[in-house]
Structure 1
Amino acid sequence: MTGTPETETLDTLKQLLDIVQRHSLSTGGEPLTARLSAHLGADAAAVPVVADRIPAHRYVDADIALEMLADRDPDAVLIGVTGDMRHHAEFADMLQRHAFAHTSVGPVDYASLPTGPDTERTCLGFGVRLFRYDGQPVAVLLRQPNPRYGREQAGLEVLCSDRTVAQRLLAELRALSIEHSVLRGQVITLDATGYEATANGVTFVQRPELPAEDVILPAGVLDRIREQVIGFAAHTDALRAQGQHLKRGLLLYGPPGSGKTHTVRHLLSGTPEHTVVLLSGETLRAIGLAAGLARKLEPAIVVLEDCDLIASDRDMMGGLKPLLFEVLDAMDGLDPDADVTFLLTTNRVDDMERALTQRPGRIDLAMEIPLPDDEGRRRLLRLYSPAPDTFSDAGIAEAATATEGTTASFARELVRRAVLLATIAGEPPGDAHLAAATSAMLASASTLARLMSPGAHDHTV
């Protein structure tokens, strides 16, 4: 008896699917399910999966921790996974025996990811580690984030017949990933988008090397700043033993170019054991993440540059801005024993939200970084000169007197301009070039001030 056209079509489709499946099994290598079942001593498709999601910036840490756990078993094996569905399917789905979901054992995917400003690690990009943990066979799938397939976070899935063993494995893995984190002791910035392929949301920055003699400030200012950060860090164990809080805040304020960032760079060079998270501009929105990282990777410093951009006085803004709430919550949310320094800079201290400065534990010390005085300008010009004898004492004194009211960055640019003028003239830099650069820069600054003044562009008709 002949079936209906619909039945015949379905039969034909079933035969086609059977052919495809047999072809896949014969040419695609050892089925993943078979390999895992042999290792686990049970049908892998029926074994429970315990999963965890890992932020992109912690992927290298997870890879290190997983390798450490697997290396305890001398018989541990690392296998790869093939198949079109591997990027879309969860671990359990890969093990189901569907025609188009068939996955096989194949080559391991690797990825080279940064572990510092100049170092990299070859990480497991997509693969499964087979080993024994607490006496139980486990299979752990690790895959890196891939926004192309809608995976903004890394995936780690544990296949084990005993779910409690899988949970213990994940707990130890988290602890190891914090203890051995590649972010610990580094200077990092948090990218605004988090999708950068090479950094996974984190950019490593070279720790600056800036000795105290290269920081030109009024007498006693740098000493107080260093005591709050570097000096405090040297006594954390004793303070903790006496029940004193470790969390602290330092605010550096002053006009643009006065040397706030320069001072911060010196503090970072003097705290080589500290993890540093730098936030500025759009990345200030990552204050919650930065505070969390600092707590886990203490001792740590969180730097918020130009924080007046998000912490303006509530009376001026007509209410607290949401980002200010995040800053305050981050500073208040850490436990008092957290060895974390919040280091803030601002150009407009008068506009700062009072809550940042009135409550101890948010800001413990506010220090002004003023414009350099005459002696400071002389020292700055000497500091930035190519050699100690490039300019005479008289030439330095004349330039310092002429540039009253200018910033530290002005002095650095002044020396650069003088050297440039000498290079163009084919002469060694000297007092004449310094004087010419001084006149040119002061004239340029005067013109700019006139253009920026109110009513400068008004015209009478």
Structure 2
Amino acid sequence: MDDAVTPARLQAFLQDFRVLSEAAHSAHAQRAAGAPPLVPLVAEHLGSDPRTFPVHTLELPVLRRVDVDVAVAAVVGEDPDARLVGVGGGEQRSHMSLSEILQHAAEWQQFPVGPVDYHRAATGPGTSRQTVAFGLHLWSVAGVPVALLQRRASMRHNGSPVLEVVCPSDEVAGDVLTRVRAEMDARSTLRGQVVTFSGSPFDPGEAGVVHVPRPVVPREDVVLPAGTLERIERQVLGVARHRDALRAAGQHLKRGVLLYGPPGTGKTHTVRHLVGESPGVTVILLSGQALQLVTVATETARALQPAMVVLEDCDLVAEERSMHGSSPVLFEVLDALDGLASDADVTFLLTTNRADVLEPALAQRPGRVDLAVEVPLPDAAGRRRLFRLYAADQPFGDAALDAAADATDGMTASFVKEAIRRAVLLAAEAGHPVGDDDLIDAVREMTGDSERITRSLLGVSSDRPD
């Protein structure tokens, strides 16, 4: 048949395809005319073709991208003649290793020298830093030339920042990466700050750090049963104050504290107090989906100690193992608690509304959780303190506040706070200054049958009759 593919026709097709491909690459090279080629620039710096040297690679935690930039700048900055150049070529760069980029740049002129890519990232609640997102550092270490490719995120490495070094000396290349890792901890922008970690399951490279102002919650604003706050403070703050004495006596510093009780009783409020009373301590807050980042949070805490890792509502990932299985995050939590050295000055602070379902291995083994403290519903005296605390400067009389406290048996601190807010709202709608009657009306409204759902959401003892 005339349509049959003969060897001669196949050979002609391949020849035409090669001519077409070469023409396309030739046209690309002509369009890139004026842009310096990458390989000759790197070869001139290294003294030889960079494709002949091995590439040393270091993959780093996504959530420490800013620290990577700070560390690289410190190492490279020791050479006053250091240069930073960009690499053109678009998104293809993110899918290629440095060796592949150099190979393609030499053979097809795909990656000419171009502008450096930058990304601005937060370094604190109100500060930021311009970091290198894609750039090639050229400098020398003790007379040995080094080329280091720094990229913000690599699609080949699950979104992690990656450093790739080409150097005539393998020893120098390894030392450079070791020094960068050490400088990340020594110069970390996370040290002494309060941060939360976030991550995207669809784009790991977009995981990030959110900086939070350190809260200020005075001791007198924490309403707990007598002696409860003192026990918690001794374990969290006391160990920190006496770390030297404990180390000298051979006692461990790492500790786990579990706060449990109904929703709205003040567990998070207590955590905020402890965080505020820990200046200089690196605090990592994890809740919701961020609980899955407990491993990297622990690694960061270990590197930046003294540190505190807060796992809020840990029952979401740490329920007791059963025949139906359990969250894999539970095992990460257990590994994190076990993996720290005994002298690590790291506090694990966990909160839960459901202590009854927690994995026994988490809650009942010393060295994981050393202190478990109930944060119960406030008693009558506690509710009086809460009403006075949240009333602040509002003109409520003592008799009205006491009556409100007596009428809210079984209610939580969150319920008390909402009662004060609603009293102010009722007065505003009525067009008069807030007073005792408004507080009485607010409490009556919130404890009425129509407010059952609100009471449930804000926290009410299940023993309280409707």
Q: Report the TM-score when normalising by structure 1.
A: 0.89
1:195-206 map, 5 Å:
200-206=207-213
What residue is the counterpart of 2:83 in the other structure?
77
TM superposition shift of 1:283: 2.5
The 3 A distance-change label for structure 1 pair 38 and 450 is closer
SS at match of 2:444: helix
| Distance in structure 2 (CA, Å) of the matches to 1:197 and 1:320 | 24
Is residue 2:431 matched to residue 1:426?
yes
SS at match of 1:86: helix
The 3 A distance-change label for structure 1 pair 381 and 138 is same
2:137 aligned to 108, 126, 129, which one? 129
The 8 Å contact of residues 93 and 101 in structure 1, kept in 2 or not, is answered as no
What residue is the counterpart of 1:119 in the other structure?
127
SS at match of 1:328: helix
1:298 aligned to 302, 305, 310, which one? 305
1:266-285 map, 5 Å:
266-285=273-292
Is residue 2:242 matched to residue 1:235?
yes
What residue is the counterpart of 1:139 in the other structure?
147
Is residue 2:362 matched to residue 1:356?
yes
SS at match of 1:115: strand
Is residue 2:409 matched to residue 1:404?
yes
TM superposition shift of 1:132: 0.9
TM superposition shift of 1:131: 0.8
What residue is the counterpart of 1:391 in the other structure?
396
Identity of counterpart residues, as a percentage? 48
1:31-180 map, 5 Å:
31-84=37-90, 85-96=92-103, 97-145=105-153, 152-180=159-187
SS at match of 2:124: coil
The 3 A distance-change label for structure 1 pair 6 and 438 is closer
Letter in 2 for 1:261: T
What residue is the counterpart of 2:198 in the other structure?
191
| Distance in structure 1 (CA, Å) of the matches to 2:327 and 2:117 | 45
Letter in 1 for 2:436: D
SS at match of 2:437: helix
The 3 A distance-change label for structure 1 pair 10 and 383 is closer
| Distance in structure 2 (CA, Å) of the matches to 1:415 and 1:112 | 42
The 8 Å contact of residues 194 and 202 in structure 1, kept in 2 or not, is answered as no
| Distance in structure 2 (CA, Å) of the matches to 1:281 and 1:49 | 39
Q: Which runs of 5+ in 1 are unaligned?
A: 453-461
The 8 Å contact of residues 138 and 159 in structure 1, kept in 2 or not, is answered as yes
TM superposition shift of 1:206: 2.2
* 1:248-277 per-position Cα deviation (integer Å, ceiling 9, x unaligned): 111112111111111011000011222122
TM superposition shift of 1:333: 1.6
The 8 Å contact of residues 125 and 144 in structure 1, kept in 2 or not, is answered as yes
| Distance in structure 2 (CA, Å) of the matches to 1:222 and 1:438 | 28
2:334 aligned to 328, 334, 337, which one? 328
Letter in 2 for 1:144: R
TM superposition shift of 1:17: 5.3
TM superposition shift of 1:360: 1.4
Aligned length: 446
TM superposition shift of 1:327: 1.9
The range that moved more, 80-89 or 105-114, is 80-89
What residue is the counterpart of 1:459 in the other structure?
none
The 3 A distance-change label for structure 1 pair 95 and 393 is same
| Distance in structure 1 (CA, Å) of the matches to 2:325 and 2:15 | 71
The 8 Å contact of residues 321 and 359 in structure 2, kept in 1 or not, is answered as yes
Backbone CA RMSD of aligned residues: 2.7
TM superposition shift of 1:351: 2.8
TM superposition shift of 1:107: 1.3
The range that moved more, 119-128 or 91-100, is 91-100
| Distance in structure 1 (CA, Å) of the matches to 2:22 and 2:310 | 65
What residue is the counterpart of 2:374 in the other structure?
368
The 8 Å contact of residues 17 and 99 in structure 1, kept in 2 or not, is answered as no
| Distance in structure 2 (CA, Å) of the matches to 1:199 and 1:117 | 19
What residue is the counterpart of 1:458 in the other structure?
none
What residue is the counterpart of 2:448 in the other structure?
443
| Distance in structure 2 (CA, Å) of the matches to 1:132 and 1:52 | 19
SS at match of 1:58: helix
What residue is the counterpart of 2:189 in the other structure?
182
* 1:229-263 per-position Cα deviation (integer Å, ceiling 9, x unaligned): 11211111221222211111111121111111110
SS at match of 2:40: helix
TM superposition shift of 1:126: 0.9
TM superposition shift of 1:326: 2.4
The 3 A distance-change label for structure 1 pair 440 and 48 is same
| Distance in structure 2 (CA, Å) of the matches to 1:291 and 1:398 | 47
The 8 Å contact of residues 42 and 50 in structure 2, kept in 1 or not, is answered as yes
TM superposition shift of 1:193: 2.0
| Distance in structure 2 (CA, Å) of the matches to 1:93 and 1:237 | 51
What residue is the counterpart of 1:456 in the other structure?
none
The 8 Å contact of residues 83 and 101 in structure 1, kept in 2 or not, is answered as no
SS at match of 1:95: helix
* 1:292-312 per-position Cα deviation (integer Å, ceiling 9, x unaligned): 221112111111222233333
| Distance in structure 2 (CA, Å) of the matches to 1:322 and 1:11 | 52
TM superposition shift of 1:14: 6.8
The range that moved more, 306-315 or 389-398, is 306-315
| Distance in structure 1 (CA, Å) of the matches to 2:335 and 2:317 | 14
Q: Report the TM-score when normalising by structure 2.
A: 0.88
The 8 Å contact of residues 94 and 101 in structure 1, kept in 2 or not, is answered as no
The 8 Å contact of residues 250 and 364 in structure 1, kept in 2 or not, is answered as yes
